[in-house]
Amino acid sequence: MSDNQKWSILQGDALKVLGTFAPNTFDAVITDPPYASGGRTQTEKNKSTARKYSSMGENAPPPFDGDAKDQRSWTRWAAEWLYEARKVCKSGAPVCMFIDWRQLPAATDALQWAGWIWRGTAVWDKGNSRPQKGRFRQQAEYIVWGSNGDMPISRPVPCLPGVFKYGNPQSRIHLTEKPLQLMRDIVKITEPGGHILDPFAGSGTTVLAAVQEGYTATGIEVTDTYAELARERIRKELACAA
């Protein structure tokens, strides 16, 4: 851990790094994994994430790994890392996983196959989306959540909303970065003083939000460029707040 033992970003494959932690290490898993849902054909899926998710050309944030799977492969992969994550969590630990409408059924299957209890689905209302005549706007993403076994309602945490309304960050350093305030709201599902795990740290938003809300946090990021960007961002943000 860095910054007085409050946080760390580990560079590596989540499936390999998760096995290095001792059981009962973490109090929650809160993460935004690659959705692997962009592109209708496998050829389109295999394109760089910078091309799939951005129209900024050379000014787009760097591409990230792990987004070219078809749905069957994605579901198997998700079940594996969710299982490994559950093994290093305490009993009753909550899990929150972002996903979109295309992969929502696969995500709930993977969560349960990994041994978590599926407890519901929350909504992130992004507000804006590309309008299409005669169709509903795709302005929402989802948070599949559950727990590692029993989850007593007596836990000392607030009642959280089922819908979070925040626009996409205006100045993103990651192609699929989530709003910081959104993550500050969501980490509060963790008991006070808890240690939060994010196996797909990206730009470090979850780790930063966790520290800002009084938790400790460990992030794992496979793309080395983003691992370093996340560390730099968190150091800068926490230094400015000090």
Domain assignment present for residue 37? The answer is yes
Those residues whose C-beta lies under 8 Å from the C-beta of residue 115, and which sit 6 or more positions away, are 83, 86, 148
pTM: 0.89
Task: Place 6 in a pLDDT band, splitting at 50, 70 and 90.
Answer: very high
CB 119 within 8 A of CB 153: no
pLDDT at position 13 over 60: yes
For 36-46, the pLDDT digits (tens) are: 875 666 766 66
pLDDT at position 2 over 80: no
- Percentage of the chain beyond pLDDT 70 is 86
Closest by CA to 30, choosing from 235, 215, 230, is 215
Task: Place 58 in a pLDDT band, splitting at 50, 70 and 90.
Answer: low
**Cα–Cα distance measured from residue 128 to residue 115, given in angstroms and rounded to the nearest whole number:** 35
pLDDT at position 4 over 80: no
- 140-to-11, 116, 118, 121, 123 alpha-carbon distances in Å: 30, 24, 20, 12, 6
Task: Place 55 in a pLDDT band, splitting at 50, 70 and 90.
Answer: low
Average pLDDT score over the chain:
90
**Cα–Cα distance measured from residue 122 to residue 164, given in angstroms and rounded to the nearest whole number:** 8
- Number of alpha carbons in the 13 Å side-chain half-sphere of residue 55: 0
Residue 102's domain is classified under what CATH number?
A: 3.40.50.150
Q: What is the maximum span of the chain, computed from C-alpha positions, in angstroms?
A: 54
pLDDT at position 52 over 70: no
CB 49 within 8 A of CB 64: yes
CA–CA–CA angle 45, 50, 51 (5° rounding): 60
- 188-to-6, 135, 163, 191, 238 alpha-carbon distances in Å: 16, 35, 15, 7, 19
DSSP category for residue 2: B
For 119-151, the pLDDT digits (tens) are: 999 999 998 877 889 999 899 999 999 999 999
Position with higher pLDDT, 84 vs 177: 84
Task: Place 238 in a pLDDT band, splitting at 50, 70 and 90.
Answer: very high
Q: Give the chain's domain count.
A: 1
Domain assignment present for residue 2? The answer is no
Q: What is the pLDDT of residue 175?
A: 74
Domain assignment present for residue 1? The answer is no
Cβ atoms within 10 Å, residue 208: 26
Q: Which domain holds residue 48?
A: 7-241
- The torsion defined by the Cα of 96, 101, 107 and 112, in degrees rounded to 10, comes to 80
